[in-house]
Chains A and B, each alone.
Chain A
Amino acid sequence: MAHAYTPGLTVTERTVLRKRRLLPIPGTVTAAIGDRVKADTVVAQTQLPGKVHVVNVANLLGAAPDEVRDYMVKQEGEAIAQDQVIAENKPLIKWFKTEVRSPIQGTVDSVSTVTGQVLLREPARSLDLLAYIDGTVVDLHPNQGVTVETDCSLVQGIFGIGGETWGDLVLAVKGPDEPLTPGHLNPSMKGKVVVGGSFMGAEVMAKAKEIGVAGLVVGGIHDKDLRALMGYDLGVAITGTERVGFTLILTEGFGVIPMAAKTYGLLSQHLGQKACISGATQIRAGVMRPEIIIPRSAQAQPTQEDAGPGKEERAGIQIGDQVRIIRDPLFGNIGKVRSLPTDLRQIETESQVRVLEVEFPDKTAVVIPRANVEIIEG
């Protein structure tokens, strides 16, 4: 197999990142190429069509469907107010008159002479698309959106929940292996992105929600605490739309796992700076990992050309690369590649796999499948 290792997560002090910001349906682009934008700048807008309500006028008036148009007071495209009469019959005796009133404010969308139904539509909702990161507009996608470029520090997590947000970075623990406890959180962290260490439990998340932190970044959590937070069990890792009060990013995985020293070190160097974060994770086709983007100042010049994460193809895993073990029994341990045997080796399960030798800081080493390590890139 050409790539018998897992491409790693990017943890880099400086890179140039491009983000495509696209509307869900066509609309108007409000930014221009060269515009400097902030995370909360509106770059495009659209009108989301309103909800449709169905009224069976034929049934309500006791008329045949092909007669419905004759009874309509309001025609297709006309505006209607809530409780306004949209159709009525015309009996000889007024006492027998029946009126059909609109349950909503909006417009008459369509009248069907086959089904006798009238579709009413609520007013469109305006949708503002924000830039999400501080940067420069470098490309326009007509009617769809823009591409924003930023010179930044970047940390990719392994899993997250919750959407895009931003806030200043705050460190709540003293080291990457210290678990985050409720005692570490205080009201000054409201609206901030709080960095913890190896682990946090349900009570930390409850307090974070109470305080109103923008985001939490930790090494790991237990599956049961995630379930308690979301109110349901996550079957497939497609996230980003949850509303749990904050955005959560795990840098290592599930369990108690110290945050990689490199990740912790990088975040520590940017305390007080604005971090734009997203918990959106998609592990099927089109891998999307949660991210912490720390835009540099407007004056800083990019050092690389358009080098988004994963854009550069690695030659493969190499001796000396720093790797994280991503499968039990040594899950979460970090070491360096000592050797890369080329032949297939039989492991405990009797599978024949490609392996590598990982050396830990204490100079001990293990041989494990290449598929069970992840390069710490950056």
Chain B
Amino acid sequence: MIAASPEAAQRQPSQPLSVIIATDCGSTTTKAILIEKVGNEYRQTFRGEAPTTVEAPFEDVTRGVLNAIAEVEELSGRKILDGDRIITPSRGEAGSAKVGVDIYVSTSSAGGGLQMMVAGVVANITGQSAQRCALGAGAIVMDVLAANDGRLPHEKIERIRSLRPDMILLSGGTDGGTVTHVVEMAEYIAAADPHPRLGLTYSLPLIYAGNKDARKRVTEILGDKTALVVTENLRPTPERENLGPARQKIHDLFLEHVMAQAPGYKKLIEWAGAPIMPTPAAVGLIMQAIAGREHLNLIGVDIGGATTDVFSVFGGVFNRTVSANLGMSYSISNVLLEAGLDNIMRWVPFTIEEQTLRNRIKNKMIRPTTVPQTLDELQIEQAISREALRLALEHHKSLATGLKGVQQERTISDIFEQRASGETLVDMLKLDLIVGSGGILSHAPRRIQSMLMMVDAYEPLGFTTLSVDSIFMMPHLGVLSTVNEQAATDVFTRDCMVYLGTCIAPIGQGTDGEKCADYTITFEGGRKSESGTLAFGELRVFALSLEEQAQVSLRPGKQVDLGSGKGEPVSRQVKGGAVGILLDGRGRPLQLPTDLQARLKALTRWHQAVNLYPKEVQKSES
């Protein structure tokens, strides 16, 4: 069962529901799904979408919602709307017309989502905790200000003034510690007199979650200039983060202030049977639920047109980051900028003139809704996505860390291993599951393309299961899980997740053709087993459906590790899916040939080995 968050459970007790309509109001598109109880289980039955209408000339989010729901009405034959009203509850006996729904729920990232500025005293300590707090609440963090961030006071003040966030989170100082620096940050904010992004005439919401001894002073300084809310310190001691209360305040203020200022949201809030959540917060809920239910370490990624969100749960610790300018359409040019042309071209199995490629990428940026029409265009987009995914994970690793600034007792072994506080929590060898979402992954023409994009970008180690979200309904299910756990669980399991299979990637390096590992795959149900030798530089795929189980035994070469140590054999039960089992003998870390012709040859060989594309393109435009 998907567990509702504690705060959500307090808001909405589970209630019997048969028909549910859920929407996600995205920056560009509003997506509606209909969920119906079929027998004893819930299924996602119909979906519709329409352009989001937050911006001019419409300036009313509910019009896009109504349009998306109207499409569901047309497809399902169920009457859901009565003019501009959602009919609740559902009614209609067998044989008569189906009318209404039992509840409407929604998430929103329209108008650019929730944009926050956070401030702390020490960048690596309270600054980073505040950032994690805001990100986990589903915000885009526009900037992190700290007393020691290297900027001069007047630069900080100018920055605060020019940002125009939806909300500010101010933290700093452990409880009982010095108040000077956090008061200093409050003074800078007061001097900047910041204005919110939406609504010129209302006060900017500001959450103070710092040293409790500074509350009185902070209130004196900011009480009149902002809509100040004081909550518990998010870093009461160096050893402890307490992000829950501040996150809850962010959600409350998101609804009360930010959403209330966005066009049409007052009406949307009235319609909804549960609080409207920021889209990434809802996805985060679902990710935490999967990890909790199956006791997994996972990485989830949602690669969109403008941003890439990465979620992780390792050892039960949840983290989320958003790479605000890594995406596949609006931000595609920025992926080229951050990754560099060579890093993108290393995944492309043909040559292309630089100017042509750069013009094409810019044209995708300015016309973001176009789709690749030719195979080479598809390959270029998938190459860019590998780099966007890789960069976003790097960003995530740098923030999903243990607490920094913690006094640790160091043993001799720690000193030899150079372990420090603040190490990343993302351990690719302990990773059980990767969940991919977003158009480029969910809608790839072949599922193996989604799998290989994620494998190339993330370089999973050892055994890792991969899946994709079929039609991006995780936000809907996240918010639904706060109201009805069973409905969210049923739909998630049966209609949302598409398991791709398991990637098995030995750690080590070797020359092409040299033995990497001997393998034996034993299938249940009498299917003939497969065995052989996986060579370095080789990719092999074995079909294994989701319903099948297989036992994979590997005996790696002397310098090769599969998680149990170099040369140690490993045997594991693995999960199948739309692709099956992928044996990746390309070595870890993955190193592509630097010579152009050798690289093109290697890519072509790998693509053919897993039947990645309908036909291999061997062209040269240079």
Contact = CB atoms under 8 A, between A and B. Distances in A.
B566 interface: no
A236 interface: yes
A25 interface: yes
Interface stretch (B246-254, B286-294, B325-333, B521-529): B325-333
A234 B332 CA distance: 10
Given A53-B154, A253-B366, A349-B445, A65 B180 contact: yes
A243 interface: no
A26 to B, nearest CB: 6
A65 B178 CA distance: 13
Given A2-B48, A25-B195, A52 B373 contact: no
A308 interface: yes
A327 to B, nearest CB: 4
A372 B161 CA distance: 41
A222 interface: yes
A253 B191 contact: no
A166 to B, nearest CB: 22
B369 interface: yes
Given A52-B191, A327-B377, A2 B27 contact: no
A226 B361 CA distance: 13
B119 to A, nearest CB: 15
A331 interface: yes
Interface centre among B52, B111, B306, B359 (most CB of A within 10 A): B359
Given A234-B333, A349-B378, A372 B371 contact: yes
B84 to A, nearest CB: 16
Given A2-B67, A25-B200, A328-B377, A233 B371 contact: no
A331 B372 CA distance: 12
A237 B217 contact: no
B212 to A, nearest CB: 15
A2 B110 CA distance: 19
Interface string A109-153: 110101101010100000000000000000000011000000000
Interface string B23-43: 000011000000000000000
B191 A110 contact: yes
A202 interface: no
A54 interface: yes
B116 interface: no
B187 interface: yes
B402 interface: no
A311 interface: yes
A350 B371 CA distance: 12
Interface residues of A, number: 63
A224 B217 CA distance: 53
A353 interface: yes
A327 B355 contact: no
Contact of A349 (B27, B359, B361, B372): B372
B366 A350 contact: no
A331 B365 contact: no
A222 to B, nearest CB: 6
Given A311-B57, A353-B371, A283 B330 contact: yes
Contact of A117 (B187, B333, B358, B373): B187
Interface string B208-221: 00000000010000
B358 to A, nearest CB: 4
A287 B187 contact: no
Contact of B334 (A24, A65, A235, A353): A235
A234 B193 CA distance: 30
A235 to B, nearest CB: 3
Given A109-B191, A349-B373, A369-B373, A223 B359 contact: yes
Contacts of B370: 6, 326-327, 369, 371-372
Interface string B307-324: 000000000000000000
B369 A222 contact: no
A258 to B, nearest CB: 15
A6 B29 CA distance: 13
A179 to B, nearest CB: 15
A206 B374 CA distance: 37
Interface in B93-114: 110-112
A285 B57 contact: no
B337 A329 contact: no
Contacts of B306: 236, 284
Contacts of A368: 373
Given A110-B190, A285-B27, A351 B445 contact: yes
B168 interface: no
Contacts of A315: none
B538 interface: no
Counting contact residues on chain B (CB < 8 A from A), the size range is 35 or more
Nearest to B357: A223
Contact of B374 (A6, A51, A326, A328): A328
Interface in B532-566: none
Contacts of B51: 3
B54 interface: yes
Contacts of B378: 349, 351
A253 B334 CA distance: 17
A232 B385 CA distance: 23
B22 interface: no
A255 B71 contact: no
B57 A310 contact: yes
Nearest to B329: A283
B50 interface: yes
Contacts of A319: none
Nearest to A119: B191
B183 interface: yes
B112 A223 contact: no
B27 A284 contact: yes
Contacts of A168: none
B25 to A, nearest CB: 11
Contact of A255 (B57, B363, B368): B363
A1 B49 contact: yes
A66 to B, nearest CB: 11
A4 to B, nearest CB: 9
Contacts of B52: 285
Nearest to A373: B370
Nearest to B50: A2
B130 to A, nearest CB: 20
B330 A237 contact: yes
A337 B192 CA distance: 54
Contacts of B71: 2
Contact of B200 (A26, A51, A226): A26
A95 to B, nearest CB: 31
A348 interface: yes
Nearest to A225: B355
A65 B49 CA distance: 59
B111 A285 contact: yes
Contacts of B620: none
A360 interface: no
Interface centre among B111, B325, B365, B367 (most CB of A within 10 A): B367
A170 to B, nearest CB: 26
A303 B332 CA distance: 41
Contact of A110 (B161, B187, B443): B187
B404 interface: no
Closest 8 CB pairs of A and B: A235-B334, A54-B153, A350-B445, A286-B55, A254-B359, A223-B358, A327-B370, A254-B362
Interface of A: 1-3, 6, 22, 24-26, 49, 51-54, 65, 109-110, 112, 114-115, 117, 119, 121, 143-144, 158-159, 222-224, 226, 233-237, 253-255, 281, 283-287, 308, 310-311, 326-329, 331, 347-351, 353, 368-369, 371-372, 374
Given A158-B366, A285-B54, A285-B112, 8 more contacts: A6-B370, A110-B191, A114-B184, A253-B367, A255-B363, A326-B367, A327-B363, A351-B372
22 contacts: A2-B71, A25-B195, A52-B157, A52-B192, A114-B179, A115-B184, A117-B187, A121-B191, A223-B359, A255-B363, A285-B27, A285-B28, A285-B111, A287-B55, A310-B57, A326-B370, A327-B363, A327-B371, A327-B372, A328-B360, A329-B373, A369-B370
